[in-house]
A and B are shown apart, each in its own frame.
Chain A
Amino acid sequence: MSLNIIVLAKQVPDTRNVGKDAMKADGTVNRAALAAIFNPEDLNALEQALRLKDKHPGSKVTVLTMGPGRAAEIIREGLYRGADGGYLLTDRAFAGADTLATSYALACAIRKIEQVDIIICGRQAIDGDTAQVGPQVAEKLGFPQITYAEEIIEVNNGKIIVKRRLERGIEVVEGSLPMVVTVNGTAPDCRPRNAKLIQKYKYAKTVTEKQEESEDYTALFDARPYLNLTEWSVNDVDCDVKKVGLAGSPTKVKKIENVVFQVKESKTISGSDFDVEELIKELIANHTIG
């Protein structure tokens, strides 16, 4: 049984490697100082999708991402690893969306894609850590969900069996398609980029990217239609403009503050035998330990 699989992926600033220049003097985030990467758990999700494709020949894996024009990189990254195509949902009207407005836009886009069997995405993105978009998309589409997935064990005859990793154990659940699955970081890493696929797709571009190119690749894109990456705007996916972007977000950011901690006056000691023993004696004497 061949499957139509959508992978939801997000381009995120690499918040795990925050340098000293990550914050501007005024306390706002200096996005330019943070590398834009494929959200790590979305890569785990992509791997689960590609494994399903390996097991079910004829299946199709499509990457759907929402973001600014440069997020087309996420689709190329997916193609390099084995995805079959992708859509970039991009429009100024989507900007400033909270998780609910984001999931509404994604759900509208997914409705444009015919006969979706499984939607797979990372559990959460590292820039927000909310884990909300997957379940919110599922609810908007009226699909059931399996969150915290570590392994999609089997898909057969419209049934899906998934192993979930919870705080204190595991659960194996069975559901029916269509299904939304959100994948944990504990799932296997994504396969690396494939050299042949890089060669094949390195010129893949969206319409906007093509317009920004100084050279004319029209002939190339006509000869190789798979290099055309689809861009969708608000109008292309039949969104209600009032429900997307900042305007469509029920949550509002009231205030953003830099994190400041109370600095203590600390006593610095060396790691010498004498210093360590003196400290331990003191801790025992004042009943902190022992």
Chain B
Amino acid sequence: MIELRIHGRGGQGAVVASKTLAQAAFLAGRYVQSYPDYGVERRGAPVVAFARIAEPGDDLFVRQDIREPHHLLVLDATLLDSGNPIAGLRTGGWVVVNTPDPPEALGIVPRFRVATINASEIASRHGLGSAAQPVVNTAILGAFVRATGIVSLDDLLTAIDHEVPVKAEENRLAAAEAYEQVLLEVSV
């Protein structure tokens, strides 16, 4: 079983990212769960969402908070400086961050693997959200899928069709582009 946590800010699409990733694994025949951690819901405020993906053929699931995720997605790099989004991450886990900087620049401790992608730039270029507040979820998912290999890019693109209500084509292009452009660092 793989457990994931997604950190974002209200309006960036963290909750849809969780559902889309779960959908991609579901389409590949895996048993999944996706849920948001609802607190105060407002634009710009920190948002957390989660997903569980069972091993192929397994459908035994627990229904409890995810405290020790295998991997993280961070939709806004400023979240790395507020609170502690890396808390509980398992050793060797991927931290996939939306930032123009390379992985080495983030100063994340070497027991985790870091991948970076300028998802804001990709999303803006494809007209997703506004220039000031791009909706970066599909772009960062492309990067995440490349880094972790948990699901295939094809399944992600089909899941985007299922889960993303508008601009499906632009979102698919953003995901595919991020898949190609992601910077991967293996620092274990």
A, B bound: no
Binding site for A on B (CB under 8 A): none
**Chain A residues within 8 Å of B, Cβ to Cβ:** none
